[in-house]
Amino acid sequence: MTIIPDAPSTLRLTPISRLAMGGRWRVEAMRALREPVLLWFTQGQGRITVAGTTRGYGPHNAIFIPPGVMHGFEVAPRVQGSVVFFGRDHGLHLPERPYFLRPRDPVSQKELIGTLEHIQRELESTRAGAQRAARHHLGLLSVWMDRQIERETRTEALPGRPLAAQALVARYATLLERDFRSNPAVADFAAALGVTPTHLTRACRATCGKSAHMLLEDRVLFEARRLLAETRLPIKQVAQMLGYNSAGYFTRAFQKAEGMTPSAFRKKPNHNPVVPRG
């Protein structure tokens, strides 16, 4: 199976408002990246789903997402902030699970803002050693995260949400990310997790307000959009890569969810297809 890699995979810092260029689906649909990401919100509010659990975010919230963890979040017009893409070869010791951080004291906020500004300045610089300097500041960012995680005493659990459900849905999200291209059913995932499909769906609704099937469909649909928007692969091959038995079945499923055929979606503006690699 050919998997189109996420590109680029080097250190970069981007305004959150720019992530939705080319379609809101690029941030709102469930997806996972192959590199760590830190979201830093400075203005606005919304909801974010990470590893199957949904919670609200607002100003001065920092969310760390390791590679391979499914996530998606709302981006309203007033939402501002920055996202740090660490790259796949960052060489840092980073947390292996997601963290939702709320640095409330001005000193911690100032430290984070200053570090991000240093990273951005070096990435835009043409001076000798700029990339190396940016990576050193990235290391300081990882230190900031470690200290903030240690400082915050609140848990990752959402108030009133069962911890068992969160753990189950996190395991489901991990399996879903690994196997969604083979077109499995929710029942297959439930069997692998040792629960019934009904129980799995009940847990998903408790943690993120969506059924297990909706999470699976959302992840597959994101990958379909990405392949259509970023590659010139034939639609038949896209269907095969996502586990569909035929291009016709894929077209019907895509049109039902998206409201247009794969061909029509590919012709929309703001797409920038690239030559497939990998």
Do residues 260 and 221 make contact, with C-beta atoms less than 8 angstroms apart?
no
Give tens-digit pLDDT for 15-53: 998 988 878 899 999 999 999 999 999 999 999 999 999
Return the SS3 of 159. coil
Do residues 235 and 262 make contact, with C-beta atoms less than 8 angstroms apart?
yes
Beta bridge pairs of residue 64? 38, 99
Do residues 215 and 173 make contact, with C-beta atoms less than 8 angstroms apart?
yes
**Alpha-carbon torsion (94, 98, 104, 106), positive or negative:** positive
pLDDT of residue 275: 34
Rounded to whole angstroms, how far apart are CA atoms 23 and 270?
8
Give tens-digit pLDDT for 126-137: 999 999 999 999
pLDDT of residue 135: 96
At CB < 8 A and 24+ separation, what contacts does 89-95 make?
89/9, 89/10, 90/11, 90/35, 90/36, 90/135, 90/138, 91/135, 92/138, 92/139, 92/142, 93/142, 94/36, 94/64, 94/66, 94/142, 94/145, 95/64, 95/66, 95/145, 95/149
Do residues 141 and 101 make contact, with C-beta atoms less than 8 angstroms apart?
no
Do residues 87 and 141 make contact, with C-beta atoms less than 8 angstroms apart?
no
What is Dmax (Cα atoms) for the chain? 59
Low-confidence stretches of the chain (pLDDT < 70) are 1-8, 153-162, 270-278
Do residues 67 and 174 make contact, with C-beta atoms less than 8 angstroms apart?
no
Do residues 52 and 170 make contact, with C-beta atoms less than 8 angstroms apart?
yes
Length of the chain measured in residues: 278
Domains contained in the chain, CATH given: 12-151 (2.60.120.280), 163-266 (1.10.10.60)
The CA-to-CA distance between both ends of the chain, in Å, stands at: 10
> Among residues 95, 61, 102, 104, which one has the least CA distance to residue 79?
61
What the block records as the tokens of 229 is: 């928007």
Residues 6+ apart with CB under 8 A from 98: 50, 51, 63, 64, 65, 66, 69, 71, 156
pLDDT of residue 41: 97
Return the SS3 of 198. helix
Do residues 66 and 50 make contact, with C-beta atoms less than 8 angstroms apart?
no
